């Protein structure tokens, strides 16, 4: 039985990945500190079924303390999937030091742990934000000149580079997956689709930053999890950076209109200035993911949005 160590395994992406791993017969150890960036009860709700599984272990600890992890994480792991991060572009501008500590030092600590425990497979959750404002669309991993425009984005670039160092020095296979605007059931409440849906249902105005012309490459959670799972089994090279997106963009106003249709409610719009650190477009070239991982995003935006809204309305949530 393979044993996976998943950091951030109580969060949106992490809890979906744990669903998949337990279903595939893995032993799973999760490290999560239930950070209060959003209501920790939401994450407790995400994992309540996991706690009943004999192959699941939850360790409440911070990745910022290498000594704590050394004490509590002493098993043999076949793979580390490092999803923990302080999230969000705009909050990172208010707390750049905190983002550096968790996202960079925390990643360094996990790589040190991998080195000490002899873990040879390391999957790192990177972000489309590393591309900054990049006119070379769709964005391809060969765009080596990265000019991030937020502290959050810079920490993800740093994590990718740390991975290259440890891969080169210690033979750890490091796969950085650049996620593009992931959405679906359990999505964080601060992210646009979730936030807008709740505001529309309440009859409250939704904030539109800029002129509404921004576009995002929205990627459904099930597609992301298939990509992560494939990366866990990848063995061909020792260091790769790979986009996981949907290879198409959706405009902000298109997204709002689609939400209105699925919810059966009309949105009230409040136009606000463009926010520092935001980019106007994200657009993934996923040809590398297809070639190396067999990655094929299969959920179109409106179908994924329907699944999200069904979850939102059906669940008794803690938001």
What is the full DSSP assignment across 99-166? Answer: HHIIIIIHHHHHHHHHHHHT--EEEEEEEGGGG-S--SSSB-TT-------SHHHHHHHHHHHHHHHH
194-250 pLDDT, tens digit per residue, is 999 999 999 999 999 888 899 999 999 999 999 999 999 999 999 999 999 999 999
- Which one is catalytic: 131, 152, 220, 283? 152
Length of the chain: 319
25-73 pLDDT, tens digit per residue, is 999 999 999 999 999 999 999 999 999 999 999 999 999 999 999 999 9
Helix (H, G, I), strand (E, B) or coil at 16: helix
User: What's the CA gap between 302 and 73, in Å, rounded?
Assistant: 41
User: What's the CA gap between 263 and 282, in Å, rounded?
Assistant: 25
Active site residue 152: yes
Domains of the chain, residue spans: 3-182+220-245+284-298
Residue 93 near residue 277, CB atoms below 8 Å: yes
User: What's the CA gap between 150 and 142, in Å, rounded?
Assistant: 21
Q: How confident is the model at residue 318 (pLDDT cuts 50, 70, 90)?
A: very low
Residue 7 near residue 13, CB atoms below 8 Å: no
User: What's the CA gap between 38 and 61, in Å, rounded?
Assistant: 17
Whole-model pTM: value is: 0.95
Q: Which CATH superfamily is 3-182+220-245+284-298 part of?
A: NAD(P)-binding Rossmann-like Domain (3.40.50.720)
């Amino acid at each position: 039985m393979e044993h996976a160590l998943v950091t951030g395994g109580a969060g949106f992406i992490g809890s979906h990945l744990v669903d998949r791993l337990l279903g595939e017969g893995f032993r799973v150890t999760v490290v999560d500190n239930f950070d209060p960036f959003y209501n920790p009860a939401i994450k407790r709700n995400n994992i309540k079924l996991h706690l009943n599984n004999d192959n699941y272990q939850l360790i409440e600890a911070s990745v910022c303390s290498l000594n704590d992890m050394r004490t509590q994480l002493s098993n043999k792991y076949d793979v580390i999937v490092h999803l923990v991060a302080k999230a969000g572009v705009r909050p990172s501008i208010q707390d750049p030091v905190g983002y550096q500590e968790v996202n960079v030092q925390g990643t360094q600590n996990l790589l040190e742990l991998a080195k000490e425990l002899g873990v040879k497979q390391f999957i790192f959750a990177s972000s489309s934000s590393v591309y900054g404002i990049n006119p070379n669309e769709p964005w391809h991993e060969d765009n080596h000149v990265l000019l991030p425009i937020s502290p959050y984005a810079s920490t993800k670039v740093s994590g990718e580079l740390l991975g290259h160092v440890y891969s080169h020095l210690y033979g750890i296979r490091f796969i950085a997956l650049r996620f593009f605007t992931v959405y679906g059931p359990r999505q964080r409440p601060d992210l646009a689709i979730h936030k807008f849906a709740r505001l529309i249902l309440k009859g409250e105005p939704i904030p539109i930053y800029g002129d509404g012309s921004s576009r995002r490459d929205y990627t459904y959670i099930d597609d992301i999890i298939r990509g992560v799972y494939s990366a866990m089994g990848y063995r061909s090279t020792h260091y790769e950076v790979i986009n996981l997106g949907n290879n198409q963009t959706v405009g902000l106003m298109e997204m709002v209109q689609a939400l209105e249709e699925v919810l059966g409610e009309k949105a009230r719009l409040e136009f606000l200035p463009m926010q520092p650190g935001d980019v106007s477009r994200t657009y993934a070239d996923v040809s590398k993911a297809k070639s190396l991982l067999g990655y094929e995003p299969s959920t179109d935006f409106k179908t994924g949005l329907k699944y999200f809204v069904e979850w939102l309305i059906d669940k008794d949530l803690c938001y």
